[in-house]
Amino acid sequence: MLALLCLNLDEFEKFNLKHGYPTGDRLLQLVAERLTHKLREMDLVCRLAEDEFAVLLKGLQNSSDLPIVLNKVLGEFQKPWKINQRNYHATASIGVAMAENADNGHRELMRRANTAMHEAKRQGGNQFCLFSPESHHQLADNFVIEADFPNAITHNELRLSLQPQVNAHTNHLEGFEALIRWKHPQRGMMMPLEFIPVLENTQQIHALGHWVIKHSLRLLSQLDKNGFPSLNMAINLSPCQFSDPVLMKVLLRNCEEYQIATERVELEITESMMLQDYEHALGLCSRFKQHDFRLAIDDFGTGYSSFATLNRLPFDTVKFDRSFIMQLGQSRQNQRFMNSMINMMQQMNLTTIAEGVETAQQRELLDDFECDLLQGFHISKPIIQSQLLPIMNQHLHAGAWH
Ligand code: C2E
Ligand code: CA
Ligand code: CA
């Protein structure tokens, strides 16, 4: 039995930009050296393209040998790469295709390993993936989404859905979170998780970001004119939008065009975003603050959330993840935990917002704990933009949402 590995470095372009091309070249040499050194002599290692290598593992006794070899290879990428006395970190994604023998279909084998490598990347990189027909379909699907997206903008297929954020005590409507939808001509209404992760691998995410900024701020100005002044808008930013060179310009230009004060715009950022390139992210966040945009940490309580980050970064708002809110009803212990977290955030002068509030019980508890704002199906589902004004007229009484 033999296995073909297709190995591609994660974010090698960024590595080159950040550390310079000579360092990138040296990294490639070191990768080649380590791979040849770590594998058996009968295995074949070759470089296919820029940062892509193929490894042919021959004479595997059975398929359970394979994970051992793969973990050995991935293990090499967990160690630092020493270049000119400095340690660098670089990981890789590995796609694996297997065959009984090398007699036929080497092209097909390569294609399969490549498909699996893309799947490993799609799942976040720094891992291996075995070829499966499903991953092949998924990849084909991703290509369609990528290819169709330019039409989404030119043919006016994108939609905003707005979810109300209300004061937990008074029900007063404070603003909305803008959530994107794509009304695809063949696939119908697509939810963001179906296409955002695909676009995040391409530059197209920047165009999506600009579209959301423009249309959500234009909506605020329309609301201003329709007797709903001073509402706020929360806009989600993907981690990769931090590398958009014109993001700040686009934000400022649209605020000016639609006459929206920057403090009415809250940018929602997840903490994983800060971890990718901390210095750059911190610099950008400080610039957002210089222009008086508000910054919210999204999905707080998932992943790496730490109080240290909150303390060091210029956030205004903490958005507790839905998973916290769901657990509220389950035990006293969970309630005490939530209560003390809210207290702590208040001590740090942060606005607190709970997302995914689905029941009256959750709402009452959060009000008791003095959480500032609430968002969730219990208050309102996200509302498609064309329905917004009639629904606001129906639910708003003296500024409060009922
Ligand atoms: P998110 O930022 O955590 O947004 C909240 C998600 O929870 C939304 O899903 C919303 O519809 C859903 N939700 C709100 N209240 C409830 C509730 O009470 N119960 C339950 N079960 N769900 C609730 P949606 O619209 O599918 O968005 C998913 C994610 O896509 C968002 O998660 C956000 O990360 C991303 N996203 C949405 N719009 C944009 C955008 O314009 N740009 C970027 N970069 N990401 C976006
Ligand atoms: Ca959000
Ligand atoms: Ca969230």
**Number of CB atoms found within 10 A of residue 86's CB:** 10
The per-residue pLDDT for 42 is 78
Given pLDDT bands bounded at 50, 70 and 90, which one contains residue 122? confident
Question: Mean pLDDT over residues 85-91, rounded?
Answer: 94
How many Cβ atoms from other residues are within 10 Å of residue 334's Cβ? Answer: 16
The mean-pLDDT minimum among 62-76, 177-191, 255-269, 322-336 falls in: 62-76
Q: Would you state the pLDDT for residue 166?
A: 98
pLDDT(259) > 90: yes
Q: Which ligand 1 atom is nearest residue 375's CA?
A: 15
Give the residue, by CA position, lying nearest to ligand 1 atom 42. Answer: 236
- The partner residues of 161 in beta bridges, in order of sequence, read 179, 384
Q: How many other C-beta atoms are found inside a 10 Å radius of the C-beta of residue 367?
A: 16
* Residue ranges in 65-203 assigned as alpha helix (H): 65-78, 106-122, 133-154, 192-199
All structural domains of the chain with their residue ranges = 2-131, 143-401
Q: Is the pLDDT of residue 184 over 70?
A: yes
First to last CA, the chain: 66
Mean pLDDT, residues 319-334 taken together: 92
Residue 292, H or E segment: none
Out of 58-72, 162-176, 267-281, give the one with best mean pLDDT: 162-176
Tell me which DSSP letter residue 79 carries. S
Predicted confidence at residue 104, as pLDDT, reads 60
Closest Cα to atom 17 of ligand 1: 356
User: Mean pLDDT, to the nearest integer, of 339-366?
Assistant: 96
Q: What whole-number percentage of the chain has pLDDT above 70?
A: 96
- What residues form DSSP beta bridges with 190? 182
How much is the pLDDT for 313?
Answer: 84
Let me know: does 264 contact 231? Beta carbons within 8 Å: yes
Q: Is the pLDDT of residue 153 over 80?
A: yes
* Ligand 1 touching residue 301 (CB < 6 A): no
Report how far ligand 2's centroid is from the alpha carbon of 355 (Å): 9
Can you read off the two tokens belonging to residue 197? 């992760």
Residue 275: pLDDT band (50, 70, 90) is low
How many CB atoms lie under 10 A from the CB of residue 347?
8
Determine the Cα–Cα distance for residues 4 and 289; give it in Å rounded to an integer.
50
197 C-beta closer than 6 A to ligand 1: no
pLDDT at 12: 93
**Dihedral, CA of residue 17, residue 49, residue 34 and residue 132, to nearest 10:** 110
pLDDT at residue 9 tops 80: yes
Measured in Å, residue 330 CA sits from the centre of ligand 2 at 25
Q: Write the DSSP symbol of residue 400.
A: E
Q: What is the pLDDT of residue 265?
A: 98
What is the model's pLDDT at position 139?
67
Distance CA 212, CA 237 (A): 10
Q: Of 92, 75, 88, 98, whose CA–CA distance to 127 is shortest?
A: 92
Quote the tokens at residue 380.
């309102």
Q: pLDDT tens, 382-399?
A: 999 999 999 999 999 999
Q: In the structure, what pLDDT confidence band is assigned to residue 261 with cuts at 50, 70 and 90?
A: very high
pLDDT at 290 over 80: yes
Question: Ligand 1, residues 158, 177, 179, 324: which to mutate, most atoms within 8 A of Cβ?
Answer: 179
For residues 314 and 285, give the distance between their C-alpha atoms in angstroms, rounded to a whole number.
Answer: 7
Best residue among 160, 236, 353, 384 to mutate for probing ligand 1, ranked by most atoms within 8 Å of CB: 236
Residue 216 CB less than 6 A away from ligand 1: no
Query: Is the CATH number of domain 2-131 3.40.190.10?
Result: no
Does 137 have pLDDT greater than 80? no
DSSP string, 21-35: HHHHHHHHHHHHHHH
Question: What's the pLDDT at 309?
Answer: 75
Do the strands 44-49 and 52-57 form a parallel or antiparallel pair, or are they unpaired? antiparallel
**Please, which pLDDT band fits residue 60 given cuts at 50, 70 and 90?**
confident
Tens digits of per-residue pLDDT, 23-52? 999 999 999 999 998 888 778 899 988 899
Residues with Cβ within 8 Å of 228's Cβ and at least 6 positions away in sequence, in order, are 392, 396
Q: How far is the CA of 321 from the centre of ligand 3 (A)?
A: 6
User: Which ligand has the nearest atom to the CA of 321?
Assistant: 3
Beta strands 373-374 and 351-354, pairing class: parallel
Strand partners, 234: 177, 266
Confidence (pLDDT) at 342? 96
- Other beta carbons within 10 angstroms of residue 273's beta carbon come to 21
Are residues 114 and 95 in contact, defined by beta-carbon separation less than 8 angstroms? yes
Neighbours of 32 (CB within 10 A): 14
Q: Do the strands 317-320 and 351-354 form a parallel or antiparallel pair, or are they unpaired?
A: parallel
**Mean pLDDT, the chain, integer:** 91
The mean pLDDT value for 193-222 works out to: 94
- Say what the pLDDT of residue 101 is: 72
**DSSP reduced 3-state for 103:** coil
Name the closest-CA residue to atom 11, ligand 1: 382
Vertex 13, ends 143 and 147: CA angle to 5°?
A: 15
Q: Which atom of ligand 1 is nearest to the CA of 235?
A: 41
**Residue 285 contacts residue 295 (beta carbons within 8 Å):** yes
Nearest ligand to residue 234 Cα: 2
Q: Domain 143-401 in CATH: superfamily?
A: EAL domain (3.20.20.450)
Least confident of 11-20, 223-232, 288-297: 11-20
Give yes or no for residue 192 CB within 6 A of ligand 1.
yes
Residues 85, 91, 93: CA angle, nearest 5 degrees: 155
Q: Does ligand 1 have an atom closer than 6 angstroms to the CB of 382?
A: yes
Structure tokens, 4: 């073909």
In this structure, which ligand is nearest to the CA of 179? 1
- Measured in degrees and rounded to the nearest 5, phi and psi for residue 37 equal -70, -40
